[in-house]
Amino acid sequence: MTVRLNENALSHAKGLLRQSKVTHDERDDWSKHAPTADQENDFIEKNGMAEYARWHLGEDTEKTDGTKGRYLFPYGDFKTLHRCAVISGESRAGQYKHASIERALKELLEKIDAKTDTK
C-alpha cells in the first residue's frame, strides 16, 4: 500500500476552516457523523469522483483511479470539516505510519482547537 497526502484535499480542509465550516464535535462522534456508503455514492453521482477525493486526506496510489477505495482519511461529511474525523484520522495515520498525513491532521486539529478557543 502506497498512501500519500492528498494536497488538494488538505487545501480544501483549510479553506473550510477559514470559512468556519467546522463541526466542533467530540472524539468518538465520527462513527455517528461519517457519511454512509449510500451517502458517499449519492455524493459521487451528483458531484463526481474528483470532488469526493477532496474530502479525503489520503490517496492509495496502488488502488484503481476513480474508485472509492483509493481515498482514505475522510475529514468531513461533504458539508463541513469535522473535528472528530480529524482526531480519528490522526490516530489511524499514526497507527499505520503515514507520517505526512498524521502531521497534516495534527496541524488541522490544532487550528480547529485554536479557532474554537478564540471564540
Closest alpha carbon to 83 in 116, 52, 57, 56 = 116
Is it the case that residue 79 has pLDDT exceeding 90? yes
Would you place residue 117 in the very low, low, confident or very high pLDDT band (cuts 50, 70, 90)? low
Q: What percent of the chain has a predicted confidence (pLDDT) above 70?
A: 97
Average of per-residue pLDDT across 105-115: 95
pLDDT, position 27: 82
Cα 88 to Cα 46: distance, rounded to the nearest angstrom? 27
Q: What is the mean pLDDT of the chain?
A: 95
Residues 6+ apart with CB under 8 A from 79: 21
- 84: amino acid identity, one letter: C
Buried b (16+ CB within 10 A) or exposed e, 105-114: bbebeebbee
State yes or no: pLDDT of 63 exceeds 50: yes
Please report, for the chain, the start and end positions of each structural domain, with discontinuous segments joined by +: 3-117
* Residue 5 region by backbone torsions, left for phi larger than 0, else alpha for psi between -120 and 50, else beta: beta
Amino acid 107 reads: E
